[in-house]
Each structure stands twice: as structure tokens, then as C-alpha cells.
Structure 1
């Protein structure tokens, strides 16, 4: 706020970590852009249908009552992030964070229109011309196309994407669809095209509290100061004794998307993308020096000059074991409840209009409303039964048909013969069982009232 932002012109780099980063870009974007177009049982495979309050995840259909599964997924994701941070620092930020992924894509587009680092710097210093305008206009046009397609895909997770595409083609989108397509597209365009490192530096809370999950045995991007210092310009002749391996070429700074100098030590702006590692390794290869002047290492490893194998042995430390134990326990409970989950739900609600009434032959009748929910994608016929009092019967229709992924309120009349049961409240059980699939059955407790 108090100083003008200095434009960062990140140089393109090639190497093992750059290839890994682009592999993450391809994987994440193929999943994000491709999932809405997959079909499952005649509908979209992944769809969060807010209008009908159903979440479709391939063969799984979740309802608002299944919110606990969403909460469990968020907790699992959080602990995975904590575990990854404790082991390898901000590896998520450097390789799979959406901000990093889209910034990488937008920087690639920028290089295609405006050239490499030196060409872009020279272009920005030049006065406006037709060529400069066309390059800038083409870049922003491509950015806008990617951003709008991203916003369209995002909305396609909440509105069936094929229906959404037809609405876009006919300009028939509703106001909320227009809003979220443009909003998410604008956010992608602004964050990946303009803000870039400022999102990681000022807006992302993870950069601020990540240090609480670090310890001296966490893998981070480090500069081997003992090996690199003192720096000096490279000459082809034999180096003098005591001269460090760092030739002060600043390639590690030029490739950094955050614009920091890793040789100054760990900084919160560092996203752990390892671009400086690839750049430094390439320079070391050219001057005939061993790789690893900048590398993934730990604070203890650098201080005690530990080997890579020795640093790996320290991965299994209390912090990592605690995170792993909690994560495994949550995952086990989550999978166990998901596997044993019955795709049939029932709530029993008493009729508040009348506690009980006497019918023919002196029998006592209570009325209930069963809220039945079939969460499977096939229709089922269910049989209703009751137990708990001798002679208890269902006086209304004993069977009900429910469509696939449907919910219905079913009124049920339950009778008890004269003289059966105790005056007052009696505990009974109401059972719902699928006629065509015996594994689908639920049982709920209820109270049957007999007048005194």
C-alpha cells in the first residue's frame, strides 16, 4: 500500500521440478475441466444440484442430511495439508494450488504473445505502437477466454453443464448463472493475470500461519551458504582456494515467480515451487560443479551437513506421526461409515392434531407421518410394519412406492387392539423394508399413546 509494486518478469526454466509442476497443471486441469462432462446413470457424474438439494458424486448421492460427509472431507483435506507442510513445507503451494496452476498457465500464454523475459522487459519499456498493442491485446484476449471458460466450468458443477452450454449459446442464462460465470472468470483473470505473487504474499492466510507447522526437520528450499559463499563471477580458469560455488548469476532470482532471492534464507513469500533449484542445477551443470547448491533440505540437515538419506530418516518424527495418526483415524471412520451407509432414511413424526382416537371394535389408533428418503438411483417398493405391542397393525396402506433419489411424506395409521398395551405412552418400533432388496431396511422408535 505504501510502495509501488515492482513488476516481476519470471524467466522460463526447465528441469525436473518444472516438469513435475507442469504435470500437476495437466492433471488438475484435466480433472477440473473434464469432470462435468462425464456421465453416470444418465446424468452428470459430478453435480452439486442446489435447487433439488442433491449432491451427485458418481454413484453416490448425498443429501443435506449427509452434511457430515462433507465436513469429514474438509477435515481430511486440512490434515493432508498439515501433514504435507510438516514434511515438505509449502509443496502444495508450489505445485497444486489453483493460484499457482493458473498463474503458470497465464505466464505460458504471456510468453507466447510477448516473448521471453528480456523481450517482455524491452517491450514494456518501449512506447506504444501497433505491434505492442496487438501483442498486449492478444494476450489479454487469450487470458479472458481461459478465465471465462474456467468460470463456465465452475458453474457447470452446480448447473448441468450441457444445459448450461445450450443456455449460453442462446444467451438464455439466468441472472445467477451470469453472475457466477463472470465473477469466477474475473477472479481467475485478475488473480492469475495481474495479482499473481501478491495473492500469495498478502491475501493467502496460509503464508502467514505456515511457520507454525514447520520445524527444523521440515524439507524446505534452501541455499547451501557454506558451499556457495563467498560469491564471485565465474571464470573458466581454475578457481582460487576458498571461493564459493555461487557465481552470482542471479538465475535463481530471475526464475522466481515471487521475486525473492533464496540466498537470503527462508522467506514467507517462497511458495516452494523449486524453480530456483532447477535454474541453479542447470548453471552448475554448465560450469562443471555438483548439483544441489540450492535444494530441498532441512534446517538440521544443513547445519549438521547431513546426507539426503539421513534427512529422510528424520521424516518419522512426533509431529508427522501425530498428523498421520489423526488422518488415518478420520479416513478409516469416514470410509467405514460411507461403506456401511444405508441408502434409505426415515423420520417418524407424530400427528399433532390428535394424540389418539378410538375406532371400531374399541381399537386405539395413532397417526404418524413418515418422511421417507430413497437415496439410490433406482426406484424401490417398501413395506411398513410396526412392533412393540401385542397385536399392533398398520391400518393404512402397508406398502409405498418411492422413485429414484426421491423423498416423500407418507401418512401412516397404526392400530392396537382393545385391551392391549398400557394406558399412557408405549414404546413401539416402526420398520421400513424394501420388498425387492432386503438389505435396505431402517427402524425408528416412536411412542404410541393409549388414553387412560
Structure 2
């Protein structure tokens, strides 16, 4: 096999044993004018894919129905600008945690790709899962791939109309469920499903659900492989992450060529490939894996199962098509598995995980913003008192009622000149912000220096209750500095 993993493996076969037409790789790319009728296939990898897809789809629909402390456990509340994740509440200023999470997921995918190629596309990608669901519905309603191809060519009749209407009704119903499932992460899911299926939802709620339903219907029902061939960016740069040890779906040309049909008991000098074309018939993107590695291949393993089935019938060794690496095909020893690529992606992944842990460990359940009164720097009260006014914006970022005590501290620990005049104990409802006016008073006779201003620190500490101002352990508090002005 050539050094580049993007070239055809046919080069490892002596040229005199390969027909001229076989020396030139022909990449079969599906076009919108040629509909692909995928042959149904069973086997080890198809069972594995179906199990993964079923599990992930079930998780997708069930997560919004998990409750925690009387609230939907995972909810992106766009209206309130909050993200609830069990007992953690993230606000827009905390969304760097989500950014680190998605970056960690990307580097994790790149790291896996170095060793297992496009395993995400074949076994975990929602596009693959929904496409195979829609193809399964199509097969149940219209029959196998031969029947579907014949139905496309047949003239319109009552039977054809009935099958097509049934298929599209089921597609639309599942698309609507998908739209509800997606929007259920942004709105209370239990009420959403009832409102949608009783046609009592609000305008914007219904609009967004139907928008994603239509996208699902068009994507999985009509576009299918076009998303993988022309829209998905991952397929375009995946080969950059491959090396000689990357396991991808590959055809062993040295063993399979020269290919040709034969009877099961026939003795022949041909290679093991019987040219049954099943590997093409079962491919959801319509390519021929025997032409070498192609970006259209999603590594779903359907051709592996089909080829192994044929090899078993002819009494040949399995894995003419298999998940293997370039080094294995060329009978070369595996090189260092910890390549620079894998180390780089692993390092980036660890950095992202560290940032997530760091952000979560420093996440505060209180948010404080101190704003000085902009109308006047200070007010003189009587002969000895000076007052400064502040507006404290205190946000309770938890999901329960919380009680807080407000205190101040001067930059001089021995300075006792400043004190809070207004009430320093407050109660704030869950996920609400309190705009609290606060007055700080100072005695001219007690100030420690002749400076016209000094730093004052406002501290908000969560306490047990208004009647029991004992700080909660561990102390949940936040502070912010401001200035106090003297005459």
C-alpha cells in the first residue's frame, strides 16, 4: 500500500495481475439524480451500530424527562438565560464552562479518530442514526431494496400511493417527535409534548418545533447521504488525522485481486473477491470500498458484514474487507502508537478537562455587582457624619431560597469609621436578582487618615436564615471593592 492512506491499495498488487480497468481507481459518488436503495444487512457491526444508535436515541428523548428537586434536571432556559444541570445553575457569564466542554468533546473526537478513523460517523453520529431509522421505516413499508427500486419505476397506482403516504406520515410523525425532543432541552418537556400534540402551543414554540421537525424530515428522509458527501465538514479533513496505524474499513487488494465471479466449489486462480457487489449494495453512501479509502466512507461496517457473509458461503477466510490499518495490510509492524498527533490531541483534551474542573470549582452561587450613587460623591449629615450611597445587585444563582448577610471592611483593618446604616440581612428567591440600595456612614472624627477617599470591600455571605445569621459551611460568599468618599 502507498504511504498515503488516501491512495488506492491496488498498488500493492503486481501490475501484470491487474486488469487495466482495475488499475485506475473509480470513485463512485452518489448524485441527487441517482437514488441509492441500500440493501439491508445483518452482522456483527450492524448489531453494534443498532445497539449504539438505539441507546443514544433513547438517551436523547429521555433526558428532558429527568427531574431533580422538582425541576427538569437538564434545561437550557432561554427565557431566563439559565442552564440547569442537576444542582448546578450556569448563567451567561458562566458559559465558558460549556465552551470548554465542547472543545474537550472535539479534541476527544480527534484523539479517537487517530486510532479508529471515522468511528463517530459510523456508530455515534445522529445523522447516521436518523438516516438508518428512516431507511428501516422505508423498508418496512415499501419492501426490500429491489422492491423499492421497482416501486420508483412503477406507474402511479392505489398501492403505490398508499405505500408512499404511509411512509411519509410515519416519517413526519418521527420528525415531529424529534423536534419536540430537541426543543425539550430548552422548554419544560412534559408540557411541551402535550401542547404540541394537542395543538395548544404558543406561536414561537410551535414554530421552532416544526422547524426542527422539517429539518429532520428533509435531512433523514430526502438528503441522507448528501449530508455526508457534501455538507459535513468532518469528512473533508478527517484524513489529516489518519496515520499508518489508523483502523479504517479497508479492502485487502493483495488477497482479493484479481476479482471475478465463480461457483462456490469452482477452483480458480482469481483472488478471493467474487465480485458479488454486495459491499456496494449495502453502503449507505453508495461507494465501492474496493477502490480504496474515500472520504465518503462513514465506517459503518456494513460492507464488512456483507463481505464476511460471502466469504463464509464460499469457505474463504473472513475479513477480506475489515477494520484494519495500512501497516497491517502491508504486513508491517506497528509503529509507535503514541504519535505526535495523538499526544497533541490528548494534551489539548486534558487541558480542556482541567479548565472545566477549574471553572466549576471556582463557580460561585452568588453574584455581586456594586454600583456607586452617581448623583453625589457623598452627603454630609450633621457635623460629624458622612454618607455614601450604593446600589448592590445581588443574584442568587442557586435553585432554592437563600439568605445573605451584607458586611463591609475597610482597607485599614483598624479603621472603625465606616458602618452600614440600612438593613444588612436580605432574602432572595431562587435564580433572582435583588437590586438593594445600601447606605454606608462614616464619622469624620474616626477616620484614620486625611485622604478624601478610601477603599471599602462589600462582602455578601450566605447564612442559615434571617433569624439565624450563621454562615453556611463551607462559607459561600463573594466580595467586591468600591470607594468611600470623604469631604
Q: TM-score range by the shorter chain?
A: over 0.9
Deviation track 1:185-207 (CA, whole Å, cap 9, x = no partner) reads 01100010111000111111222
Query: Could you tell me how far apart the structure 2 residues matched to 1:140 and 1:2 are?
Result: 23
The equivalent position to 2:201 in structure 1, one of 173, 178, 203, is 173
Question: Displacement of 1:238 after TM fit?
Answer: 5.1
3-state SS, counterpart of residue 79 of structure 1: helix
Question: Displacement of 1:340 after TM fit?
Answer: 4.1
Question: Displacement of 1:2 after TM fit?
Answer: 12
1:406 and 2:432 matched: yes
Question: Displacement of 1:177 after TM fit?
Answer: 1.2
Scaled by the length of structure 2, the TM-score of the pair is 0.87
Query: Could you tell me how far apart the structure 2 residues matched to 1:27 and 1:344 are?
Result: 38
For the structure 1 residues 315 and 13, does the alpha-carbon distance in structure 2 shift closer, same or farther, using more than 3 Å as the test? farther
For the structure 1 residues 356 and 60, does the alpha-carbon distance in structure 2 shift closer, same or farther, using more than 3 Å as the test? same
1:330 and 2:352 matched: yes
Moved more, 386-395 or 178-187: 386-395
* Aligned residue number for residue 289 of structure 1: 316
1:445 and 2:481 matched: yes
Query: Could you tell me how far apart the structure 1 residues matched to 2:409 and 2:80 are?
Result: 34
* Aligned residue number for residue 347 of structure 1: 369
3-state SS, counterpart of residue 42 of structure 2: coil
3-state SS, counterpart of residue 9 of structure 1: coil
Query: Could you tell me how far apart the structure 2 residues matched to 1:130 and 1:395 are?
Result: 85
Instruction: Kindly report which structure 2 residues correspond to 1:117-128, keeping only aligned pairs within 5 A, or say none.
Output: 117-128=145-156
Instruction: Kindly report which structure 2 residues correspond to 1:274-423, keeping only aligned pairs within 5 A, or say none.
Output: 274-303=301-330, 305-306=331-332, 311=334, 314-388=336-410, 389=412, 390-391=415-416, 392-419=418-445, 420=447, 421-423=449-451
3-state SS, counterpart of residue 290 of structure 1: coil
* Aligned residue number for residue 185 of structure 2: 157
The equivalent position to 2:46 in structure 1, one of 11, 14, 18, is 18
Question: Displacement of 1:176 after TM fit?
Answer: 1.3
The equivalent position to 2:453 in structure 1, one of 425, 435, 438, is 425
Query: Could you tell me how far apart the structure 2 residues matched to 1:325 and 1:343 are?
Result: 31
Instruction: Kindly report which structure 2 residues correspond to 1:114-263, keeping only aligned pairs within 5 A, or say none.
Output: 114-237=142-265, 239-241=267-269, 243-263=270-290
Question: Displacement of 1:170 after TM fit?
Answer: 4.6
* Aligned residue number for residue 22 of structure 2: none
- Over the aligned positions, Cα root-mean-square deviation in angstroms equals 1.9
Consecutive unaligned residues of structure 2, counting only runs of 5 or more, are: 1-28, 465-471
Q: Is the Cα contact below 8 Å between 2:101 and 2:352 reproduced in 1?
A: no
Deviation track 1:285-308 (CA, whole Å, cap 9, x = no partner) reads 2211111111112223323x14xx
For the structure 1 residues 276 and 400, does the alpha-carbon distance in structure 2 shift closer, same or farther, using more than 3 Å as the test? same
Question: Displacement of 1:255 after TM fit?
Answer: 0.4
For the structure 1 residues 430 and 4, does the alpha-carbon distance in structure 2 shift closer, same or farther, using more than 3 Å as the test? closer
Query: Could you tell me how far apart the structure 1 residues matched to 2:336 and 2:278 are?
Result: 31
Question: Displacement of 1:234 after TM fit?
Answer: 2.8
Deviation track 1:338-396 (CA, whole Å, cap 9, x = no partner) reads 13422122122212121112224522222121111111122121111111241121111
Deviation track 1:309-365 (CA, whole Å, cap 9, x = no partner) reads x54x74322211111121012112312331342212212221212111222452222
* Aligned residue number for residue 26 of structure 2: none
Query: Could you tell me how far apart the structure 1 residues matched to 2:462 and 2:48 are?
Result: 50
3-state SS, counterpart of residue 309 of structure 2: helix
Query: Could you tell me how far apart the structure 1 residues matched to 2:60 and 2:31 are?
Result: 37
Q: How many residues align structurally?
A: 445
* Aligned residue number for residue 55 of structure 1: 83
Deviation track 1:119-168 (CA, whole Å, cap 9, x = no partner) reads 21222222222112111111111001000111122222212122223433
Query: Could you tell me how far apart the structure 1 residues matched to 2:169 and 2:41 are?
Result: 25
Query: Could you tell me how far apart the structure 1 residues matched to 2:388 and 2:133 are?
Result: 65
Query: Could you tell me how far apart the structure 2 residues matched to 1:274 and 1:422 are?
Result: 81
Deviation track 1:174-225 (CA, whole Å, cap 9, x = no partner) reads 2211211111001100010111000111111222222222233322111011
Deviation track 1:105-127 (CA, whole Å, cap 9, x = no partner) reads 10110111011112212222222
Query: Could you tell me how far apart the structure 2 residues matched to 1:408 and 1:261 are?
Result: 65
Q: Is the Cα contact below 8 Å between 2:30 and 2:286 reproduced in 1?
A: no
Question: Displacement of 1:37 after TM fit?
Answer: 1.5
Higher relative contact order (CA 8 A, sep 6+): 2
Query: Could you tell me how far apart the structure 2 residues matched to 1:237 and 1:71 are?
Result: 60
Question: Displacement of 1:240 after TM fit?
Answer: 3.2
Q: Is the Cα contact below 8 Å between 2:100 and 2:355 reproduced in 1?
A: no
For the structure 1 residues 235 and 166, does the alpha-carbon distance in structure 2 shift closer, same or farther, using more than 3 Å as the test? closer
Query: Could you tell me how far apart the structure 2 residues matched to 1:113 and 1:252 are?
Result: 24
For the structure 1 residues 337 and 162, does the alpha-carbon distance in structure 2 shift closer, same or farther, using more than 3 Å as the test? same
